[in-house]
Structure 1
Amino acid sequence: APLVAFSSNIHTCRRLSLMWGVTPIYFEEADLYQLDKLARHLTKRLEFANEGQSILLVKGFNPDPSQNKPSITVLEL
């Protein structure tokens, strides 16, 4: 299955571009609060999934480990 990685850190996106099967997407910090909407939109636009299919959104990781709040969410397209 395709893997799309969203990051607000351009250096992270550059490193992720070297990983097989990963499509890194750079986005601004302001978009952090709309990750569900962003994930749905880009997954459809990149044609990785179609309407009616499910995707997993994994989020909540921070450069400061004490601020990590990891979660996995199933999103319906």
Structure 2
Amino acid sequence: MGPRAADEEETGIHCRLDELLEERGMTLTRLSELVGMSIVNLSVLKNDRARAIRFSTLTAICDALDCTVGELLVRSD
């Protein structure tokens, strides 16, 4: 593993937000409205750039997408 900045470290966790949105025909804008989170912050999750997520946010996203935490977040290694 080459030198990386701390904020670029891989966590081994993949967020399947893009796939779940597509499966449900939902836009990031609509999810933003449902969960009360900015599109920018949801995009960070969607693009696997997030380093942390609040349990309340995780619950709101799972409720809005009618999915489980295990469907949204998976091990990528």
- TM-score normalized with structure 2 length: 0.27
Structure number with the higher strand fraction is 1
- TM-score normalized with structure 1 length: 0.27
Structure number with the higher helix fraction is 2
Between the two structures, name the one with larger relative contact order (CA 8 Å, sep ≥ 6). 2
